Amino acid sequence: MDQETVRAFLSIPFSAEFKQSADQRIQKIKLEYKNFRFLPAENWHLTLYFFGNITEEEKNKVIQALDPVASEFNPFEVTLESIGAFPDERKPRLIWAGVGGNIDMLTQLKKRIEQVLKKMKFPVEDRPFKPHMTIARLKANVRSGSVHFPATLFQDFPCEKVDSLSLMKSTLTPQGAIYEPIHSFAFKTSSGTVSKSARF
**How many folded domains does the chain comprise?**
1
Distances (CA, A) of 26 to 53, 97, 104, 159, 169: 32, 10, 27, 17, 27
Q: Please pick, among 19, 45, 59, 110, the residue that the annotation labels catalytic.
A: 45
Residue type at 134 in one-letter notation = T
User: Can you give the residue range of the structural domain that contains 33?
Assistant: 5-194
Q: Domain for residue 36, yes or no? A: yes
113, 132, 136, 186: which is the annotated catalytic residue?
132
* 124 domain residue, yes or no: yes
9-47 per-position pLDDT tens digit: 999 999 999 999 999 999 999 999 999 999 999 999 999
In a domain, 200, yes or no: no
Looking at the domain assignment, is residue 199 inside a domain? no
Residue 131 lies inside a defined structural domain of this protein: yes
A 10 A CB-CB count for 77 gives 13
Residue 126 falls inside a structural domain: yes
> Is 148 known to be catalytic?
no
DSSP state of 194: B
Look at residue 140 in the predicted model and tell me its pLDDT. Answer: 87
Class of residue 200 by CB neighbours under 10 A (exposed 0-12, middle 13-18, buried 19+)? exposed
The domain that holds 153 is classified in CATH as 3.90.1140.10
Question: Which pairs count as long-range contacts for 81-89, CB under 8 Å and 24+ apart, including other chains?
Answer: 81/154, 81/157, 82/151, 82/153, 82/154, 83/26, 83/29, 83/149, 83/153, 83/154, 84/132, 84/149, 85/147, 85/149, 89/146, 89/147, 89/148, 89/149
Q: Which residue has the higher pLDDT, 189 or 83?
A: 83
Cβ distance 92 to 85 under 8 Å?
yes
Mean of pLDDT values over 144-166: 95
Looking at residues 165-183, what average pLDDT do you find? 93
Report if residue 30 sits inside a domain. Answer: yes
Say yes or no to pLDDT of 134 above 50: yes
pTM of the model: 0.89
What is the reported pLDDT for 147?
94
pLDDT band at 144 (very low <50, low <70, confident <90, very high): confident
